[in-house]
A and B are shown apart, each in its own frame.
Chain A
């Protein structure tokens, strides 16, 4: 079964400013988001992820390219005529209205009858567990509560797509974790396509069905969280999500030759080998197939210890050793050790 495409961007370009001072916030981005998907746009600030979101919502018009919703071209439609709602980073709740009036705002604008509005508002407030706050003014709510109201308000008109612009960034860590679970639940219950924008890689990995990693106005990679983490396509994706090691290599048949002469098996293609620190095992220097290295430093992190190592050609590598229940890792600074890469863990990538 082919899935329906809820949102599509076709060769979207967005430039700000004119002439020489113009900046390309989006540089020929094409993207398809499936119906019912939890899709995350992930990238550092200024990478263009919010611009893309604003183009989908209709707050900005693309310089060139098209935006499609459910297959229909909406590029020229103003935001009030797109079946898309947004949860804003600042929540943007109306301060002069009560919680219930905020949630019912869109329905009222659509000219729905009062009983229908009241009914939907009650259901939405129940959905986000804010029933008892219906008559409050929004200024009297905490950040987490405002967040829930903003969600209910955006979900009330049952949009085809819900856009979320870093909605959790203003919350403290504990609340953020709660809301992550909450958002995932809401998405499952409503079946609405979520497009979530964040710069937080952990948020992206834990919540998304698929992630689009952005940098410098371009989509770098679109894939599932697992694929993004285990098989990044380039140096930016590999380093932005999680920690990793980069080693310059010469590709060989089915693998690559390191600068120190060792040959390792690696999938992918490109002049750089990447390996996650937790996929490296530190062994005695004479272990079979081990790459010799010297311990430079060790940093204790609680759950594990980061072991900074140097290969014989001077390249630096970090390995993550699980901290034993008692005592230290058993390797000392200056010690000669061997490194073994876990099978399938090493990847060749583009710059």
Chain B
């Protein structure tokens, strides 16, 4: 570094500010994790170490059902979202720049910008009409709703990977007698795979974690883990919620680590 160059770390109060931000981010999570091991019934008073809330959550049928439902929805939603996102990414990168390209980007990334509550209310009304019309009450609505807002999260890593891909590889495949479909199957798709996996994981995590849209769209008895927890909070709060949250946190961290490893490989 040039000695006279501007360095953020030399600004006054750099350390305290950084430390403050760091604590604000991680202290609550740390507290949550610690109190999930509390032996007492309080989420604020430490009463000794115990795993009993994990056991209690494990044996709680409502938690089990909600968790399975969450995983079920997340699996299908991320599958749909990733497929759509892959096609969208191919459609927006594998062609010459066209009029309205920016508009298409905005359209695809719409869920990142429109307030979630607006989407939630819109979906509530829209699905209510379909429910009246068809009589179908199943999980399909939740899966579709989740898939829709997961698309941009799946789209971004896939597009990044596509844009980083050497276009001459596809030219070379065509030169070596690969038909357009073979080129996609044997060259584009394998090279894109880490991006697709990363996008799917991100979509999965986002779906797993959603509260607002789920709360609005779900029918009776369709609680996912987050909405179940929200419901519990309205009654007595026990460290069971901490235990569930911690488990969810661990799952998310594992998935995001995979995501990080997959996207990092591209830059090697």
Contacts and interface: CB of A to CB of B under 8 A. Distances in A.
B255 interface: no
Interface in A132-146: none
Interface footprint category on B: 10 to 19
Interface string A176-214: 000000000000000000000000000000000000000
Contact of B177 (A57, A88, A92, A106): A106
B131 to A, nearest CB: 46
B169 interface: yes
Given A92-B169, A94-B169, A109 B176 contact: yes
Nearest to B176: A106
B248 interface: no
A240 interface: no
A80 B169 contact: no
B175 A80 contact: yes
B177 A95 contact: no
A157 interface: yes
A59 interface: yes
Q: Main SS of the interface on chain A?
A: mixed
A79 B190 contact: no
B84 interface: no
A88 B175 CA distance: 10
Interface residues of A, number: 24
A153 interface: yes
B191 interface: yes
B178 interface: yes
A37 B166 CA distance: 31
Interface in A107-147: 108-110
15 contacts: A58-B174, A59-B174, A79-B171, A79-B175, A80-B175, A84-B175, A88-B171, A94-B169, A94-B191, A95-B169, A96-B190, A105-B186, A106-B176, A109-B182, A153-B176
Given A58-B174, A90-B168, A95-B191, 12 more contacts: A57-B175, A59-B174, A79-B174, A80-B175, A85-B175, A92-B166, A92-B171, A94-B169, A96-B190, A105-B173, A105-B186, A154-B175
